[in-house]
Structures are given as C-alpha cells and as structure tokens.
Amino acid sequence: MEDEADIYDGIRSQFPLSFGKQSKSQTPLELIHNATRRNTSAAATSTAVNSASDKPSASNKTNALPSLSGSSKDWLDSFNNSNPKSSKKNGDEDRKIGPPRLPAGLEEDGQMMVGPPRPPPGSGVEDEDEPVIGPPRPPPRSGIEDDDDEPVIGPPRPPPGGDVEDDDDGPTIGPPRPPPGQIESDSDEDVDEEDEDSGYRIPLSNEIVLKGHAKVVSALAVDPTGSRVLSGSYDYSVRMYDFQGMNARLQSFRQLEPSEGHQIRGLSWSPTADRFLCVTGSAQAKIYDRDGLTLGEFVKGDMYIRDLKNTKGHISGLTCGEWHPKAKETILTSSEDGSLRIWDVNDFKSQKQVIKPKLSRPGRIPVTTCAWDREGKRIAGGIGDGSIQIWNIKAGWGSRPDIHVGNGHTDDITGLNFSSDGLILLSRSFDGTLKVWDLRKMKDALHAFDDLPNNYAQTNVAFSPDEQLFLTGTSVERDSTTGGLLCFYDRVKMELISRVGISPTYSVVQCAWHPRLNQIFATVGDRHEGGTHILYDPTISERGALVCVARAPRKQSVDDFQAQPVIHNPHALPMFRDQPSRKRQREKILKDPLKSHKPELPINGPGFGGRVGTTKGSLLTQYLLKQGGLIKETWMEEDPREAILKYADVAAKDPKFIAPAYAQTQPETVFAKSDSDEEK
C-alpha cells in the first residue's frame, strides 16, 4: 500500500497545482464597461457648436464611421463583415472566373506575372491574393472592387478620378474608400471636422455615480495620486471614497461630520496627499489626516473687536479654503467677515497673515471665494461687491491688492482658477457668466460666456489636464428643460465646444478633470439627494473608476453572519404590560383600622404660640402687634395650678381620652381646700 501511495504521489507531481480546480467565472471587461456606458455616446451627448449648417453633425459622423477611440479589433471585424465580396482562397492555385488576365501568346512563369501590364478589369476578372510586380493597374471601368487582403508591392493605385489617392506602400487601415463614382471633395470637410473634434479626447463614454448624500454635494477634492475622493454636502457630512478598496457597490469607507449644523463649503488636499482641509459654515476650519482622523481646529477670533487684524481668527462663517500648491504647511481661507487669512498647519492658535481687501463702500463685505496660483506666489479673492483682487506674495507685502478689478461681475463670485502658465484667470459668478481674464491686462475681460445659470455659492470652474479646455457646471432653473449641464470651452478659440447632460433634475456644482486618471468628476444634487458623477473612457482613462467597476463585490463569508433581532410582542414587554388588579388589596386595606383611618388634615397658614393656623393674621402682623404691646403673653404671670383646675369641671363632665377607660374604677378626686381663710 505504501508503494502505491508513492506511485500516486509521483504521478500527481507531474501535474500543475491548478489541475482539477474549477476556474472562477470572470465577467469580461467589455460587458462590465457596457453596463456603465452612458445612454448616448459622447458624440451624441455633446452638442457641437458650429455655425455652418451645411456640415454634418457629430452624431451623423459617428453613425457613418466608427470612432477611432474604440477598439480597433471590433472596428475591423465590423468592417470585414460589412464587405460581402471579400473572400480568401485556400490552396496553391486560385480558381479564376472569366477570361485569363494575359492575352494569348504570353506564358506564366509559376505564380509571378512577367510581361506587360495587365489589361483593365472590364470583363469581370478578379484579382489574385498575391503580390504583384509590375506597373500599376489601370483604373476600373465596370465598378469591380479589389479584394486583396495582402499588401501590394509597387506604385500606388490611381484613384477613380485619375488623382493619386494613397501614398502608403503597406496595407491601408481606416475607413473604407468611397465608391469609384463618388467625388471625394465632399468628404474632406468631414475628415477635417472629425480630426478637429477628436483632438479634444474628452472621456465621456462611461459613467458611474458615487451616492450617499442626502442633499446637494457642494465640495469635491481628489487627491493628487487619484486614489481617494472627498465629497462634502449641505447635509453637514463628508464622505471618503477609496478607489483601491471600493468595489462595484461604490460605497464610502468613512463618513465625517466636522461641525454639527454647518454646511460643507470647501475641501482641499495637501500637496503630499497625507492631510486635507475641511471648510464649513462655521468660523473654524479643520484639518484631518488621510484616514479621516482629526488633527486640529483653527482658533476663532473675538467678534467684539472691530479691527479684524487684531483678532486671532475668523469671526464669521467660512466661504472657501485651499491648500498651498507647493508648501504642505500653509493654507488659505476666506470668510464672511470680509478677510482672507493664511494659516500655518503646525500652529492652530494664530494665523500667519491677515488680508483685508479694498472695499468700494464702508462696512464689512464678505469674501466669497479665494484661490492660489499654481506656484503659490499669488492669491486671488472674489469680493461680495463683484470685484476681483489679486495679491503678490513678496517681502513686506500687505493688504493693498496689486491688481484690483472693481467691476469684475455684477453679483457674488463663486469660483476662481489660475492657469499653470500664470497668464489666464477664470472667474464664475452668480450672474450666470464665466469670464476669462488676461493677467497682463486686467482692465477688461478677454471673453465672457453667458447663459450659465448658477444658484450655488460653490460653483467652480476647472481646466483640462493640457489646459486647452476649461469646464464649468450649470444649475437647473425652474422652467428649464435641459437639466444640469457640463459645458466645455476652447481656450484658444474662445468658443463653446460641447454641452454634456449630467442630470435631468439636479444642478451641477463642482467639477474637476484629474490629470493622472483622465476622468471628469461632477457633483450634483438638490435639497433631497446628492451624488458625484465620474465620467471616463476605458480606452483613454486609467485606474480610478476602471478599477472599482471591474472589482466584483466580495462574497459573504461565515464571519459576515449577523443574527437577526427577535421582535417580541410589544404588550409582552414590561413597559407595555398591564398592571395587575388592586381590588383585593384595596379590600384588605379597608379592613385594617390603622390604614383605613382618615388622617387629620394639615393646618395651613400662620400661627401663634407654637401652633400653626390659630390666628388669622400673618407673621408680619403678629410681629407688629407684639412689638406694639397689643399681644401679651400671660402664661408667665399665671399660676399653673389654677390654669389646670379651671378645666376640671369640663374634664369631669365630658371626659375624652384617659378618663373613660378608668371611669368605673377611678376613685373620686378629692382636692384639699385652701386654708387661707382659717389661717386668717
């Protein structure tokens, strides 16, 4: 038996360890991403803005030609299936239909054709699937197409109209050629326009939604590595999402409530992504670590001090906050008290710098938003009077702004953003406009985009990774039928590229285009629900949403078992149980002479002489009468024996307490008579 066991072990060792194991069924990635595909393709969803009406729309071009950003294999399969004339021949010799290609008298040397050029295929002659050596073929005359599946050696074929069509010596990959009789001049505009639109490469084909908030999501922050997402809402909570640990259920791994009863107005990651800043409607900003643990809270200033420079912190609700793009210890906050403050993260008890903007009228005007430039050398602030003010951080700088635009917007400014080259500043406002400013000439805006409704004070504007585009969201108006949109603009041409519908009923507030993930984030919501939409394209996006969507939810194990609570009848609980009957107990008490005796009623009111309630006057009245001599105490002047004996006749006639018990045996009381008369 031992020898047989050794033999079996030796045989088993020849097989791989995975032999006999059932392989887990895995869903193909194509099916997974098809489940998250948007209802309409990116070209159909985005509305191209072209004034020329004779050009075909983007959706028509997408239906006519496959998208170059899709899988080339699927496109080639669809193209081969759509060409019924293409066929492959097997064997060394091809079957030829119709008359021979060469005229009579010419001989064939194997499979290589030697001699003058072939006659034009006017009699239905098909081409062979072999390399051709010799001059080019003449143009077809009867509309017969070539069926070659292999590269052609020799000069390129002339086009049907007589002009040279291809310049490549290899196989042609791309859209099919037009029929021989069709003029190609009309398709040049289509190709140019398609190249123009496809150059933007906006990831819009697929979409997932991070839910969990009960109101509109007003703050968004994606860490520089693209692994974690923060979303803050008007429901006073912050949710943390981790792409590496999140599965297809898209649930957050932690929920925070920084300040009870205060809305979340801003979130910002540090440059090293180890901490993040949370700005709420309170006057104190908080710092959390990467896992959501509180590291500190900045101090609040004294609201009774008039000069804001003498306070240690903000005295009113915060409006915006942003971490320094380079220094990991410095942050910037703005507040409704009309000041901007620079803080040191290592010291939560005082700020480094207080900035008071230049005001157009006396009083306190709130600072609605603030922003750093990409190098951290300039600060921009949006003031409640519609002005934009910029400060250069340098030695000895103060509150006086270096750039002041008094008439930037007609309403509160909700978002500011610098370009990386430091030449462009974007501003978003409540007045429904998006303005582009040249920092070298801030007198007038370069361009102003209108028809962008905005109902939220946190609506921002963002750049694309290459900064050739910038995008912003729109709010839903009462009579609007478009819903929340994400609008893309070209920075060079200063024109609208496309409008992408994000939600039919919710407004788009915050937006971001992450450079490493190449994915677009957009927060939406209203007073009842909120979420974060992530737009991506499997062909050009990386990690992020692609990782969590492809990860299936973990199967429940024995450790996940939770006993269901047993629901008892409510009337069986002691708090709902009826009290027992007290009838027998009451009857027993009535039979007891002590318990059934009615107690004497308490005496209420003032009294006199140790007794309460014997007089009708109050204590103050008794005091006044006693001091005035109206109430006299005679017990010290009276003989005690005479005071007792004056009640002797009453006690003998109407005994109450002790006398009735001893009435039969009590001897007659004999008092001695006074001898005072006899002595006299």
pLDDT tens, residue by residue, 111-121: 444 444 454 44
Residue 677, pLDDT score: 58
Q: Which residues pair with 607 in a beta bridge?
A: 612
Does the pLDDT value for residue 190 go beyond 70?
Answer: no
Residue 639, pLDDT score: 84
Its domain, for residue 406, covers 206-553
Q: What secondary structure, in 3-state letters, does 483-525 show? A: CEEEEEEECCCCEEEEEEEEECCCEEEEEEEECCCCEEEEEEE
Q: Does residue 622 sit within a domain?
A: no
Residue 368 to residue 460: CA distance in whole angstroms: 12
Residue 97, pLDDT score: 38
Residue 676, pLDDT score: 62
Indicate the number of domains in the chain. 1
Q: Does residue 355 sit within a domain?
A: yes
Question: What's the token pair of residue 622?
Answer: 């008794």
Q: Which residues pair with 424 in a beta bridge?
A: 438
Question: What's the token pair of residue 452?
Answer: 């962008």
3-state DSSP assignment of residue 254: strand
Q: Does residue 33 sit within a domain?
A: no
Mean pLDDT of 215-239: 95
CA 43 to chain centre: 26
Does the pLDDT value for residue 415 go beyond 80?
Answer: yes
Residue 91 to residue 533: CA distance in whole angstroms: 56
Residue 510 to residue 369: CA distance in whole angstroms: 14
Mean pLDDT of 536-540: 92
CA 417 to chain centre: 20
Residue 154, pLDDT score: 46
Q: Does residue 184 sit within a domain?
A: no
87-to-83, 139, 148, 175, 249 alpha-carbon distances in Å: 9, 22, 9, 19, 47
Give me the residue label for tokens 């380079």: 326
Helical (H) or strand (E) element with 264: strand 264-269
Residue 314 to residue 271: CA distance in whole angstroms: 24
CA atoms within 13 A on the CB side of 355: 29
Q: What are phi and psi of 239, to 5 degrees?
A: -110, 140
pLDDT digits (tens, 9 = 90+) for 234-276: 999 999 999 988 888 899 999 999 999 999 999 999 999 999 9
pLDDT digits (tens, 9 = 90+) for 499-530: 999 999 999 999 999 999 999 999 999 989 99
Q: Edge-to-edge strand order for the sheet containing 347-355?
A: 318-323, 330-335, 340-344, 347-355
b/e per residue 369-403 (b: at least 16 CB within 10 A):
bbbbbeebebbbbbbbbbbbbbbebeeeeebebee
Residue 113, pLDDT score: 45
pLDDT digits (tens, 9 = 90+) for 121-137: 444 444 444 455 555 66
Question: Would you place residue 593 in the very low, low, confident or very high pLDDT band (cuts 50, 70, 90)?
Answer: confident
3-state DSSP assignment of residue 72: helix
What angle is formed at CA 370 by the lines to CA 364 and CA 371, rounded to 5 degrees?
A: 160
Mean pLDDT of 40-50: 43
Residue 304 to residue 380: CA distance in whole angstroms: 28
Q: How many residues in total does the chain contain?
A: 680
- Of the chain, the percentage scoring pLDDT greater than 90 comes to 42
pLDDT digits (tens, 9 = 90+) for 461-472: 999 999 999 999
Q: Does residue 311 sit within a domain?
A: yes
Q: Does residue 239 sit within a domain?
A: yes
Residue 181 to residue 556: CA distance in whole angstroms: 64
Residue 611, pLDDT score: 54
CA-nearest of 516, 509, 504 to 45 is 504
- Of the chain, the percentage scoring pLDDT greater than 70 comes to 64
Across 17-26, 193-202, 239-248, which has the greatest mean pLDDT?
239-248
Mean pLDDT of 79-106: 43
Residue 332, pLDDT score: 95
CA 272 to chain centre: 21
Residue 32, pLDDT score: 83
Q: What's the whole-number average pLDDT of the chain?
A: 76
CA dihedral 217, 529, 434, 355 (to 10 degrees): -30
Helical (H) or strand (E) element with 218: strand 217-222
pLDDT digits (tens, 9 = 90+) for 368-395: 999 999 999 999 999 999 999 999 998 8
344-to-8, 287, 457, 640 alpha-carbon distances in Å: 71, 11, 26, 92
Q: Is 580 exposed, middle or buried (0-12, 13-18, 19+ CB in 10 A)?
A: exposed
Give me the residue label for tokens 């791994």: 253
Does the pLDDT value for residue 182 go beyond 50?
Answer: no
Question: What's the token pair of residue 106?
Answer: 């010419």
Residue 319 to residue 333: CA distance in whole angstroms: 8
Mean pLDDT of 321-341: 94
Residue 598, pLDDT score: 74
Residue 286 to residue 280: CA distance in whole angstroms: 9
pLDDT digits (tens, 9 = 90+) for 651-669: 777 777 666 777 777 777 7
pLDDT digits (tens, 9 = 90+) for 158-178: 454 444 344 444 444 344 444
Name the DSSP letter for residue 33.
Answer: H
Q: What secondary structure, in 3-state letters, does 582-606 show? A: CHHHHHHHHHCHHHHCCCCCCCCCC
pLDDT digits (tens, 9 = 90+) for 271-322: 999 999 999 999 999 999 999 999 999 999 998 988 888 899 999 999 999 9
Higher local confidence (pLDDT), 455 or 181? 455
Higher local confidence (pLDDT), 70 or 671? 671
Q: Does residue 642 sit within a domain?
A: no
Does the pLDDT value for residue 206 go beyond 80?
Answer: yes
CA atoms within 13 A on the CB side of 433: 17
Q: What secondary structure, in 3-state letters, does 289-310 show? A: ECCCCEEEECCCCCCCCCCHHH
Mean pLDDT of 216-243: 95
Question: Would you place residue 344 in the very low, low, confident or very high pLDDT band (cuts 50, 70, 90)?
Answer: very high
CATH of the domain at 491: 2.130.10.10
Residue 560 to residue 282: CA distance in whole angstroms: 40
Q: What secondary structure, in 3-state letters, does 347-410 show? A: EEEEEEEEECCCCCCCCCCCEEEEEECCCCCEEEEEECCCCEEEEECCCCCCCCCCEEECCCCC
Higher local confidence (pLDDT), 417 or 617? 417
Q: Does residue 427 sit within a domain?
A: yes
